[in-house]
């Protein structure tokens, strides 16, 4: 029986060439799998037909936009997940979604190997292969660009030699990965970290320096889930899409950073995530209103570790699953409304309300009606600072 390889297929030059390349290098049949996570571009059926035209024995396409939003983006929102306190994990979230479909296709078609188009320098190779090994430890993984030195020049030559139906003339100066949660741009002149991004780098966001009217939005959450925009019910996908439009029109969600890659190098990345940043900003503020202090303090530690695990490709790991349980529990009372002004590249919270609020006006006010018993504070401070006071006496005596 001929071996079969499932290939993560995008429809572009590199993965189209991979179909024939893998067949020649391994003698295996290739099943192409394309997953729509809201990246836009070509119709899925066009991509499927191209895979078959390039030599795939089977081609599957999956509309996973709602699945991606609800099972991957939503946990990131509940976790306020920002890698290095800035990056909302745009690409890192889409990889386990794709991995799940690759493994399902491998089981369906009796494949022994899964292939992807990543290089040996990035994070995505780890995200694909660590994810696959967690869901299906028996499957092998190959990466033609990395394992068989499939450079772009070789890919173009192979494409022309075989007469594959792929355009090889136009090449973007950037490497771009995008989905409904955001967009990642790297390489080209951005590799010089002194060079400022220019406007043609961006697509999801408008220039925040251009004068325009501010946009006020009210986002409603139920147990950490965005359920309405301005009082109109939405799915998680719709919440992201609508805020991509509205926050993006105000230039919200632009990020230019040098980040620490898992493979040990620093990389300059430009991201856009207007919907993601707006939702995380709103969710964080609603937590400030509804989550008890000690739980909130500990959750911030969990959020950082959760973001690192996801960035590092360990979505399916035992620790990530355990932290998911904590984050879910911490979101049980995160319900209510957040009002934000979107303007000038910023999402600024201007109002909060919740039936689960822990904010007590009578305790907080300095005016008439104050119910806070200030006479208790002196004794509290003496006891609270006692251990430090005792240590200070010893240290000064020495």
Question: Would strands 266-272 and 254-260 be described as parallel, antiparallel, or unpaired?
Answer: antiparallel
Query: Which member of 4, 10, 14, 134 is catalytic?
Result: 14
Give how far Cα 139 sits from Cα of 8, 17, 96, 114, 216, Å: 14, 22, 16, 7, 50
d(CA 363, CA 232): 34
Identify whether the C-beta of residue 74 lies closer than 8 Å to the C-beta of residue 45.
Answer: no
CB count within 10 Å of CB 356 equals 14
d(CA 238, CA 228): 9
d(CA 307, CA 244): 21
Query: Which member of 66, 133, 140, 175 is catalytic?
Result: 175
Is residue 175 annotated as part of the catalytic site, yes or no?
yes
d(CA 358, CA 329): 17
Contacting residues for 26 by C-beta, under 8 A, at least 6 apart: 3, 5, 113, 142
Is residue 321 annotated as part of the catalytic site, yes or no?
no
Contacting residues for 366 by C-beta, under 8 A, at least 6 apart: none
Query: Which member of 95, 183, 246, 268 is catalytic?
Result: 95
d(CA 147, CA 116): 11
Query: Which member of 4, 36, 124, 127 is catalytic?
Result: 124
- End-to-end alpha-carbon separation of the chain, Å? 81
d(CA 334, CA 80): 12
Is residue 91 annotated as part of the catalytic site, yes or no?
no
d(CA 215, CA 387): 51
CB count within 10 Å of CB 382 equals 10
Strand ranges (DSSP E) for 89-231? 113-115, 140-142, 175-179, 182-186, 215-222, 225-229
Identify whether the C-beta of residue 101 lies closer than 8 Å to the C-beta of residue 130.
Answer: no
Is residue 95 annotated as part of the catalytic site, yes or no?
yes
What are the catalytic residues? 14, 95, 124, 175
């Amino acid at each position: 029986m001929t071996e079969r390889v499932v290939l993560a297929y995008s429809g572009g030059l590199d993965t189209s060439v991979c179909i024939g390349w893998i067949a020649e290098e391994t003698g295996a049949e290739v099943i192409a799998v394309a997953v729509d996570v809201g990246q836009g571009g070509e119709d899925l059926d066009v991509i499927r037909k191209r895979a078959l035209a390039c030599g795939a024995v089977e081609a599957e396409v999956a509309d996973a936009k709602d699945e991606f939003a609800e099972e991957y983006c939503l946990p990131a929102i509940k976790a306020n997940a920002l890698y290095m306190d800035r990056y909302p994990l745009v690409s890192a979230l889409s990889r386990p979604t794709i991995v799940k479909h690759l493994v399902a296709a491998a089981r369906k078609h009796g494949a022994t190997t899964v292939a992807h188009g990543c290089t040996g320098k990035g994070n995505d190779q780890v995200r694909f292969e660590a994810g696959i090994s967690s869901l299906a430890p028996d499957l092998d993984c190959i990466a033609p660009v990395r394992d068989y030195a499939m450079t772009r020049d070789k890919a173009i030559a192979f494409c022309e030699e075989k007469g594959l139906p792929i355009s090889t003339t136009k090449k973007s100066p950037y490497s771009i990965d995008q989905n409904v949660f955001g967009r990642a741009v790297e390489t080209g002149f951005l590799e010089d970290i002194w060079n400022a991004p220019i406007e043609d780098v961006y697509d999801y966001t408008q220039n925040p320096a251009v004068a325009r009217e501010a946009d006020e939005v009210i986002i409603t959450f139920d147990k950490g889930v965005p359920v309405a925009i301005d009082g109109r019910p939405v799915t998680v996908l719709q919440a992201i899409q609508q805020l991509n439009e509205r926050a993006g029109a105000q230039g919200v969600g632009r990020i230019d950073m040098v980040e620490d890659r898992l493979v040990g190098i620093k990389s300059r990345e430009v991201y856009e995530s207007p919907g993601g940043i707006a939702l995380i900003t709103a969710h964080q503020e609603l937590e400030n209103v509804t989550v008890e202090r000690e739980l909130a303090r500990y959750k911030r530690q969990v959020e950082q570790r959760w973001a690192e695990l996801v960035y590092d490709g360990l979505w399916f790991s035992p620790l990530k699953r355990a932290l998911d349980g904590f984050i879910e529990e911490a979101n049980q009372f995160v319900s209510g409304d957040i009002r934000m002004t979107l303007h000038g590249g910023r999402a600024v919270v201007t109002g909060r309300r919740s039936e689960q609020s822990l904010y007590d006006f009578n305790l907080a006010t300095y005016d008439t009606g104050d119910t806070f018993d200030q006479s208790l504070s002196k004794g509290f401070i003496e006891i609270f600072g006692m251990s430090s006071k005792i240590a200070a006496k010893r240290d000064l005596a020495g």
